[in-house]
Amino acid sequence: MADLALTPKTTNFLKFLHKGYSFRELFLKGISLKVVSKVLSAIKYDFYHKGKSVDIDYRSIIDGAKYISIGDRVWVQRGAWLTVPLIEINNVENRPYLIIGEGTRIGPHSTISAANRIYIGQNVLFGLNVTVVDHMHQYREITKPISHQGIFSDGEIIIEDNAWLGANSIIYSARKKLVIGKNCVVAANSFVRDDVKPFSVVSGNPAKIIKQYSFATKVWENLGEHEKISH
């Protein structure tokens, strides 16, 4: 989806008009994001760090903002939920549990829940309804409701620069460090639970590498079954 609101310059505004967007559509979207959302987010949230030109749609939800760091030019789109579940963390440390690098776009209705550490690099693109979680509920005691057993949060997730997480993809690691390398593509509806090499395309449940960029041929090459990641 084209970024209508993060390009306020007149030249870009005219570009969108020429593409077929109406003046009314662009104007109202700009007011919604650049005025209403900015005012409400400034009133509602006190971040660990907030960069310049950050746009947080007023229809998104952020919990534990004091422990979230957001870089310059980040766009959090409608319905997204960013949370640090403080009520579930035994000893809350004075540090960012969730770090979002500059230029990153969090897609509509995406969920990012960090109880230990989630680091998202620069210019990462989230599709619709992406989920990133670094913890899980305890369920050892069968005589006790799971909702009363607390969480297990030894996970750490790092998503490096320029990655693209497709719609409905899930990135999950509650017990170990998981790294998605730079310039990776996670296909829609995929479930990632292990590291992904840089410049790879992964797909499936669990996700496996299906393509990798070749610097020799300068194309994305399909991988044979024998070359795919085994879990």
Asked if the model's pLDDT at residue 38 lies above 50, the reply is yes
144 φ, ψ (degrees, to nearest 5) = -125, 135
Residue 18: per-residue pLDDT: 64
- What is the percentage of the chain residues whose pLDDT exceeds 70? 84
State the residue for tokens 């534990």.
64
Residue 228: per-residue pLDDT: 42
Which domains are present in the chain? 7-44 (no CATH), 47-227 (2.160.10.10)
Helix (H/G/I), strand (E/B), else coil: 102: coil
Helices 10-19 and 23-31, axial angle in degrees (round to 10): 130
141 within 8 A of 129, measured Cβ to Cβ: no
Asked if the model's pLDDT at residue 223 lies above 60, the reply is yes
The Cα–Cα gap between 63 and 117 comes to: 15
Express each pLDDT in 112-160 by its tens digit. Answer: 999 999 999 999 999 999 999 999 999 999 999 999 999 989 999 999 9
pTM: 0.85
The Cα–Cα gap between 71 and 74 comes to: 6
Confidence of residue 6 (pLDDT cuts 50, 70, 90): very low
Express each pLDDT in 43-86 by its tens digit. Answer: 889 999 999 999 999 999 999 999 999 999 999 999 999 999 99
Q: 71 is written with which tokens? A: 């870089």
The Cα–Cα gap between 96 and 66 comes to: 8
